[in-house]
Structure 1
Amino acid sequence: MKIYSNLDNVKSSKTFKDLRKWQRERRKKVKDLSINIDQCPSKKVSEIRENRSKTSYTWIGHSTFLIQINGINILTDPVWAKRMGMEKRLTEPGISLAELPEIDVVVISHGHYDHLDFPTLKGLKGNPQFFVPAGMKSLFNKKGYQKVQELNWWESVELGGISFHFVPAQHWTRRSLKDMNTSHWGGWIFQTTAETLYFVGDTGYFRGFKQIAERFKTIDTVFMPIGAFEPEWFMAPAHISPEDSVKAYTELKAKYFVPMHYGTYRLADDTGPEALNRLLCEWEKQQLPKEQLKVLLLGETVI
């Protein structure tokens, strides 16, 4: 059985001693979980259900976006689950499953449960094509899905005038006791003749951002994780901090930054508002143009 690894063989695994240390630290921290990311007051549900011509993206929550490009409806890491392990979902999805249009393509960044939820997939409308990391097709087949294509890093596939490129990330994956890193992880780039969008997936900061920038000269919008980074001594190999996410964005030379992977599930010690505040502070510190940072409310659509 193949075991996948990061660039430079960076390890994300931690010892039981590390886990106990984190648990002790967490008990000493008092976090206000009552303040959460708001729902968008003016959602464009009917507009996105009918849209087959304009480029749009809608934040559902966590790493889930509805991206409409070239007349194709794409979902990234679809998760509508009400719980993640012992933790309840902190915010309702920005759009319900019932409100979605028919989905043409689903892309999966990796197999962690907060990025791949099979009960959610069962609720999707349409008969989507699934693009998944190498090593994951057999799991989808066992679940009854046959329209599945797996890709390795730097491989690509065409559908509906869109090139789907699977690119590196620095992370790890596991769904059971026996499948540690037996499938890959990464990000997805959606490229047409008119524009390029980059869904980063789940990652720590790594030199792969520079490689991606070299291969894709013009990235219009990057969907970048900013949460689940605290404590950083534990999380840094697998979860990028808000400050390093800005560093990665500047290395990518992208036009727009859309933050994600914060405020939906309590996966680490930071809260959604904390992650967002640190991002805004770093953005101001680096004197980056305010109009290039697209902070979305839940269910908000940019067309």
Structure 2
Amino acid sequence: MKKRYENLNGAVNEHGFRDMMKWMKERRGKIQDLSENIPIAGFRDVKNVANNRTKTSITWIGHSTFLIQMHGLNMITDPVWASRMGLQKRLTKPGYELSEMPEIDVVLISHGHYDHLDFPSIKRLKGNPAYYVPMGLKQLFIKKGYKKVYEVNWWDRVEVQRVNVSFVPAQHWTRRTLWDTNTSHWGGWIIENENGESIYFAGDTGYFDGFKKIGERFNIKAALMPIGAYEPEWFMKVSHINPEDAIKAFLELQTDSFIPMHYGAFRLADDTGPEALRRLLKEWERLELNQKKLKTLALGETCWLH
């Protein structure tokens, strides 16, 4: 019998078929303007990103896909270039085409949901990357023909060419078929170098007290935080964080900068990308937080860390 994974505090997504039907009924009564989308960068630093071997950079491709460069390594999180997710068309194009991407050295997977793990996209990545995946996912990668696959547990740390990569908890769940619910784990990634630069990719998560624990263990410079797919909150709250709670988590992490993600690409819930961003900005202003610490990247935009 396969191992089933759990959340740090025992939180469980208990919504079943009846709740799904209730949500679908609610959705039919809501009219959302899907013609308004989040912006694509007016300037994309494609050439400098492709040639970068020394500086630390973060480029938002879209949804939870980032190209992260550190110590000459090209790392990518949850690579998804899919034009559809289930029956829904992608709302915004990826910030970079796959043909514009440099060769990838490391792929970091947060969990097995299709909007975070898309094998057709992975197959088209340039290079011969190593894949770091949560416990329970390695066998699927092996079955697909990938050999450089490494499974990790929460709090595990591995060193890749002078870069430390650690897998940390998130509050979520996973399933790719009707029979494999929670048979693989989920989490986020901390990427650190010897110069004290560190990036936290939160993956997919609800709000939980694990953010405090992560903040106590790591000196994080930039947090890539999800802000979308939170409506209706009675259905989504356990697994997806809303913009206000994402800011609360950011403060608990004691991080230097906040980069929002997981919004605007797919209609996974009833909120929209622009709506999520407006709520984030409103809460940031209400709390009178330093505007320089909020870095809202456009699709294809690069943030260079110094």
Whole-angstrom CA distance in 1 between matches of 2:299 and 2:60: 6
SS in 1 for 2:120: helix
**Following TM superposition, by how much is the alpha carbon of 1:83 offset from its aligned partner in structure 2, in angstroms?**
0.1
| Structure 1 residue aligned with 2:285 | 284
Aligned-pair distance for 1:12? 1.4
- Partner letter of residue 4 of structure 2? I
Between the aligned residues of both structures, percent identity stands at 61
Deviations 1:81-131 (A, max 9, x none): 000001000000000000000000000000000000000011000000100
Residue equivalent to 2:13: 12
- Residue 5 of structure 2 aligns with an amino acid whose one-letter code is Y
**Post-superposition offset of 1:191:** 1.0
Residue aligning to 1:246: 247
The separation in 1 between residues aligned to 2:172 and 2:26, in whole angstroms, is 23
Alignment of 1:89-100 (within 5 A): 89-100=90-101
205, 208, 212: which one aligns with 1:206: 208
CA deviation after TM superposition for structure 1 residue 13, in Å: 3.2
Q: What SS does the aligned partner of 2:214 have?
A: helix
1:153 paired residue number: 154
By how many angstroms is 1:9 displaced? 1.1
Please name the residue that 2:25 is paired with.
24
Deviations along 1:175-201, one digit per CA (max 9) or x if unpaired, are 001100000000000011221110000
* Distance in 1, Cα, partners of 2:286 & 2:70: 33
Matched residue pairs, number?
302
- 1:255 corresponds in structure 2 to 256
Counterparts of 2:151 and 2:168 in 1: how far apart (Å)? 13
* 1:179 partner amino acid: D
- C-alpha separation between the residues in 1 aligned to 2:183 and 2:14? 14
Deviations 1:146-201 (A, max 9, x none): 00001000111100111110000000000001100000000000011221110000
By how many angstroms is 1:207 displaced? 0.5
In the alignment, which residue of structure 2 is the partner of 1:189? 190
Q: 1: CA distance between counterparts of 2:270 and 2:76? A: 28
Structure 1 residue runs without a partner (length 5+)? none
Find the aligned partners of 1:231 and 1:198 in 2 and give their Cα distance: 27
How far apart are residue 41 of structure 1 and its match? 1.1
SS at match of 2:9: helix
What is the DSSP-based 3-state SS (H/G/I as helix, E as strand, rest coil) of the residue aligned with 1:7? coil
Corresponding residue for 2:63? Answer: 62
Counterpart for residue 140 of structure 2: 139
In the TM superposition, residue 215 of structure 1 has moved relative to its aligned partner by 0.9
Shift of 1:302: 1.2
| Structure 2 Cα separation of the partners of residues 196 and 55 of structure 1 | 10
Measure the CA separation in 1 of the matches of 2:278 and 2:226.
Answer: 14
Tell me the equivalent position of 2:45. Answer: 44
Partner of 2:297: 296
d(CA) in 2 for partners of 1:44 and 1:230? 34
- Whole-angstrom distance in 1 between the partners of 2:66 and 2:58: 7
- Shift of residue 214 of structure 1? 1.2
Matches within 5 A, 1:114-129: 114-129=115-130
Residues of 1 paired with 2:42 and 2:250: CA distance? 29
**C-alpha distance in 2 between matches for 1:176 and 1:125:** 28
Taking structure 2 as the reference length, the TM-score comes to 0.98
Q: 21-30 or 9-18: which moved more?
A: 9-18
> How far apart, CA to CA, are the structure 2 residues paired with 1:2 and 1:72?
33
Poorly superposed stretches of 4+, deviation over 6 Å: none
Distance of 1:160 and 1:92 partners within structure 2: 32
